[in-house]
Amino acid sequence: MSENKIPYKIYLSEDEMPKAWYNLRADMTNKPAPLLNPGTLRPMTREELDGVFCDELVKQELDDTTPYFEIPQEIRDFYKMYRPSPLVRAYCLEEKLQTPAKIYYKFEGNNTSGSHKLNSAIAQAYYAKKQGLKGVPTETGAGQWGTALSMACSYLGLDCKVYMVKCSYEQKPFRREVMRTYGASVTPSPSNTTAVGRKILAEHPDTTGSLGCAISEAVEVATSHPGYRYVLGSVLNQVLLHQSVIGLECKTALDKYGVKPDVIIGCAGGGSNLGGLIAPFMGEKLRGEADYRFIAVEPASCPSLTRGKYAYDFCDTGMVCPLAKMYTLGSGFIPSANHAGGLRYHGMSSTLSQLYADGYMEATSVEQTKVFEAAEYFARVEGILPAPESSHAIRVAIDEALKCKETGEEKTILFGLTGTGYFDLVAYQKFNDGAMTDYIPTDEDIAASLAQLPKVE
């Protein structure tokens, strides 16, 4: 089909939507390193993980050989409420930039939670329900994951307990109320409802909390209450598996028009949207069928891939979770108050970490004022108010398109637009008032944090 026939939005019919998730690990020669038991430092067994996560999700977590997992019909029906998500040809942005590059973005913000996180929330809630569980405790930072999970739980009739980082609980009352509207209970973390929360509060009475701390509380609730299992919105292999629906839809839509991207760009917090977006394309690269450039974009204030170390580390502050081998800044690393809450995690998915270590993917970091400049530019040209997290990918997509303008290359760029920024208007206000700053950790800051890494051979 000729170039000028490509519509502004490429939709798929219900029949064309993915019927199975793709497990990228099946095509990796060097598999991601296994999770380790924090006590024994031995690989976590299925039985040990069964006490923390639902049985079916443990199977998905540990399986690095099965390429496809069928998406249960109930989940496919739920997906139909807000998927397929639009794949947009950014004609307006191309025109404004005067670039010969062709730009596409996959927009995941078209649901109430406002991000891609619902894709995995519904899957995790479904398997918990199927196992006959009562509910799922979790943590949330900025609130996107908690919102997505509360939507999934209310649909399936599960109890949803959200530990929300205290400063967000206070600063983002609207997200909190969306969660409560969907029936979730929301507790500011650290709280006195858990032993680990009470311990942290005794040591640091004025703390405003952190994601690592909220994870510790949610895991404690899961392991101490019968009928409850922990769920997590990013980082884990199972989450990347569910998010492959993003990349699979992109691939089907682009294949329909014979379009092959040269560069695929995504923001990277724990790595789930990027892992999902690139999955089928990376599979082709791993099997030697096609080549693509993949770029992970992270904030300069929390640069785990670009400045962290590839090592085993704790996933949480309380050190109760399994250890994962990943690019990390150290579990005690507290990033500065960056406005992209979803990108403030100290580590990175072990699957993406391995791919990066093996040279299959590039990574770059960008400063927050540059990110908001791109966000504002994009909002004015393409109409969508982007989430600060997503705007990291916009920044690099625009930079790549501007390079094409210099060289005259007609590259095809695909990027992930993970969500909307309606709950981030305090950050936009800072930017509009000219009061936004860029804090970049020093080498000494990072070295001090990395010195605390657990000793694992």
For the CB of residue 220, give the shortest distance to ligand PLP in the complex, in Å. Answer: 23
| Cβ–Cβ < 8 Å for 290, 296 | no
Nearest to 8 by CA among 123, 83, 94, 130: 94
335 or 342: whose CB is closer to ligand PLP?
342
* Amino acid code (one letter) for 205: P
For residue 131, give both structure tokens.
């196992």
Q: Which residues of 81-90 are buried (b: 16+ CB within 10 A; e: fewer)?
A: ebbbbbbbbb
Nearest to 45 by CA among 55, 57, 35, 31: 35
For the chain, how are helix, strand and coil distributed in percent, rounded to 5? 45, 15, 40
Q: Taking CB under 6 A as the rule, does residue 391 contact ligand PLP?
A: no
Of residues 272, 351, 365, 449, which one binds ligand PLP by CB under 6 A?
272
Distance from C-alpha of 135 to C-alpha of 228, rounded to nearest angstrom: 5
196 or 300: whose CB is closer to ligand PLP?
300
Q: CB under 6 A: which stretch of 97-105, 211-219, 263-271, 324-332 binds ligand PLP?
A: 263-271
Q: Taking CB under 6 A as the rule, does residue 298 contact ligand PLP?
A: no
144 or 216: whose CB is closer to ligand PLP?
144
Total binding residues for ligand PLP by CB under 6 A?
19
For the CB of residue 234, give the shortest distance to ligand PLP in the complex, in Å. Answer: 3
Quickly count: other Cβ atoms within 10 Å of residue 144's Cβ: 27
Pairing of the two strands 159-165 and 185-189: parallel
Of residues 60, 85, 99, 115, which one binds ligand PLP by CB under 6 A?
115
| Cβ–Cβ < 8 Å for 318, 332 | no
Of residues 60, 85, 144, 331, which one binds ligand PLP by CB under 6 A?
144
Of residues 137, 146, 197, 271, which one binds ligand PLP by CB under 6 A?
271
For the CB of residue 62, give the shortest distance to ligand PLP in the complex, in Å. Answer: 20
For residue 285, give both structure tokens.
């690269």
Binding positions for ligand PLP, 34-93, rule CB under 6 A: none
Q: Taking CB under 6 A as the rule, does residue 270 contact ligand PLP?
A: yes
For the CB of residue 400, give the shortest distance to ligand PLP in the complex, in Å. Answer: 19
Of residues 322, 419, 431, 436, which one binds ligand PLP by CB under 6 A?
419
For the CB of residue 23, give the shortest distance to ligand PLP in the complex, in Å. Answer: 17
| Binding pattern for the stretch 228-257 against ligand PLP, x by CB under 6 A and - elsewhere | ------x-----------------------
144 or 353: whose CB is closer to ligand PLP?
144
188 or 271: whose CB is closer to ligand PLP?
271
Q: Taking CB under 6 A as the rule, does residue 387 contact ligand PLP?
A: yes
Q: Taking CB under 6 A as the rule, does residue 140 contact ligand PLP?
A: no
- What is the secondary structure of 87-138 as a DSSP string? EEE-HHHHHHHT-S-EEEEEE---STT-BTTHHHHHHHHHHHHHTT--EEEE
Distance from C-alpha of 24 to C-alpha of 238, rounded to nearest angstrom: 11
Binding positions for ligand PLP, 313-352, rule CB under 6 A: 342-343
Q: Taking CB under 6 A as the rule, does residue 267 contact ligand PLP?
A: yes
H, E, C per residue of 57-94? HHHHHHCCCCCEEECCHHHHHHHHHHCCCCEEECHHHH
Distance from C-alpha of 234 to C-alpha of 240, rounded to nearest angstrom: 7
Q: Taking CB under 6 A as the rule, does residue 268 contact ligand PLP?
A: yes
The footprint of ligand PLP (CB under 6 A) covers 115, 117, 144, 234, 267-274, 342-343, 387, 389-390, 418-419
